[in-house]
Amino acid sequence: MTVLALAATTSMAVAQETTSSVRGSVTAEGTPVSGATVTVTHLPSGTVSTMVTGESGAFSLSGLRPGGPYRVSVKADGYPEASYDDISLTVGQPYNLPVTVSQAAALDELAVVAVRPTQALTTSFNRDKIDGVASINRDIRDIARQDPFASFNPSTRGVSIAGTRNTTNKFSVDGVRFSDNFGLQGGGLPTNRGPVPLDAVEQLSVKVAPYDVTEGDFQGGSIAVVLRSGDNKLSGSAFYTYTDDSLQGDNSRGTVVNQTLTSKNWGAFLSGPIIKDKLFFAGSYEKLDQVTPALFGLAGAPSVVPGLTQASLDAISATASSVYGYDTLGLAQTLPETDEKYTIKIDYNLTDKHRLSYTYIHNSGETEALGGGSTSPTSPGIGFQSYATREPQI
C-alpha cells in the first residue's frame, strides 16, 4: 500500500482531520476590541500565524499543526500585551481562547497560562501519552483501545467503539482513509498490523459518533491519526527488539511444548529543519520479520491433533504424490510474517497564512494463513504446507 497526501491550508480553509485552530474574542470591560493583532506561534518550528480583529473583536486562526506548545499574544492600542503560553492543540478541535485586556498601567505585559478545553465523547493522545502506552505489536489500535468507549478483540485486533462492529469505524492518517471498506480483515484495517510506524504518530484522536458535518461515512467511531512533522531541532530515535524460542519455556504443566519462534523488529525516526522556520522534514521506518508456530500439529504443538502420527501423515503424502501427482510439502509447522512500512512528511511555511504539507506512506507485508485444523477426537484435522495461503497485505 502506497499513499500520497498533499494538503494546503490557509486561515480560511481547514482540514478537520489533520489540523487544528485557535479562536476567540478580544474584549475590554465587556466591550469588543477591534484592530487588535493576534499572533499564534508554534514554538518548536517558529511557525507564525497572525490576524487582526474586526469590529466584533473575534479572531479565528486555522490550519495549525496539532500539538505544541503554542504561544498566543494579543496587542491592542492603549492596552498592555496579553500573552498565553503552554497551549497544546488537538486535531480537529478548535481551541477557544477568550482574551480580556485592561488598562492596568502597572503591567507591561499580561501573561496567562492557558488550560486545555475539553470536548465530550472525544479522547486525544499526544506524543507523550503515546510513548506511555505499552504496545507489543507497535500498532495504533493499541492506542485507540484506551478510549473508554472502546473494546478490543485480541484474536482479530479489532477495536469496537460504542458497541458497533469494528469494520464500521473510520480510520484516517493525515486525512487519508485507511478503513477496511471490503471487510476482508477482521481487525478493521486493510493491513494486518498498523499502517504506519508507531514512532511516526504525533497525535491520535477517537471520536464517538461526532455531530460535526465534516465527519461521515462511518457508524461507530472516527479514529484520526496525524503524523509527526519536523521542527527547528534535529532529532531522532531508533529501536530494535528480538526474541526466539530459546527465551521462553518449553514445559507447560508437565507437557513438553516445542515451538519454533523468531521475531525481529527494528525501526528509526528522524526529523529536523531543511530551512529554519520555513521547510521541515520527518521520516520513519519500521521492519518486522517473524516466524511463529502453526496452531495445530503433532506432539509438542500448541494444539495437539489426536489420533494422528507422523507415519500416517507420510502415508497420506505418499499416496497424494503417487496417485495424483500432488506434493503436500509436508506438515506446516511454522507461519512466517513480514511487515515493512515507512513514512515521509514535508512541511513548508509558504506565508504566515499558507502552509503546504506533503505526506508519503508505504506499507507492504505478507502473512501465511493455514486453515483446516481441529482437535476434535471424532473429526481431527491438520493442514499440510501446500494448503497454506500467502496473503499479501499491501
- Whether pLDDT at 111 is above 50: no
- Predicted local confidence at residue 286, as pLDDT: 96
How sure is the predictor about 351, in pLDDT bands with cuts at 50, 70 and 90? confident
Mean pLDDT of 150-175: 80
pTM for this structure?
0.78
- Whether pLDDT at 113 is above 50: no
Cell output for 87: 497551549
- Predicted local confidence at residue 9, as pLDDT: 53
How sure is the predictor about 388, in pLDDT bands with cuts at 50, 70 and 90? low
- Whether pLDDT at 348 is above 90: yes
CA-CA-CA-CA dihedral for 12, 360, 200, 275, to nearest 10: -70
Name the more confident of 21 and 12.
21
State how far Cα 54 lies from the chain centre: 39
At 173-182, the pLDDT tens digits run 888 888 776 6
Please state, rounded to an integer, the average pLDDT across all residues of the chain: 82
Query: What is the C-alpha separation between 24 and 242, in angstroms, rounded?
Result: 51
Cis geometry, peptide bond prior to residue 66 (ω within 30 degrees of 0)? no
Weakest mean pLDDT among 67-81, 107-121, 234-248, 286-300 = 107-121
> Burial, 10: exposed, middle or buried (Cβ in 10 Å; 0-12, 13-18, 19+)?
middle
- Please tell me whether residue 199 adopts helix, strand or coil conformation: helix
- Residue 175 in contact with residue 17, Cβ under 8 Å? yes
Which domains are assigned to the chain? Answer: 11-113 (2.60.40.10), 120-228 (2.170.130.10), 229-394 (no CATH)
State how far Cα 246 lies from the chain centre: 32
- Whether pLDDT at 211 is above 70: no
- Predicted local confidence at residue 296, as pLDDT: 82
Cell output for 298: 503433532
Query: What is the C-alpha separation between 357 and 19, in angstroms, rounded?
Result: 11
Please report the sign of the dihedral spanned by the C-alpha atoms of residue 98, residue 104, residue 110, residue 116.
negative
- Residue 87 in contact with residue 73, Cβ under 8 Å? no
- Predicted local confidence at residue 6, as pLDDT: 57
How sure is the predictor about 300, in pLDDT bands with cuts at 50, 70 and 90? confident
Mean pLDDT of 237-251: 87
Query: What is the C-alpha separation between 369 and 383, in angstroms, rounded?
Result: 10
Buried b (16+ CB within 10 A) or exposed e, 34-62: eebbbbbbbebbebebebebeeebbbebb
- Whether pLDDT at 135 is above 60: yes
Highest mean pLDDT, choosing among 131-135, 267-271, 301-305:
267-271
Mean pLDDT of 222-247: 91
Q: What percent of the chain has pLDDT over 70?
A: 83
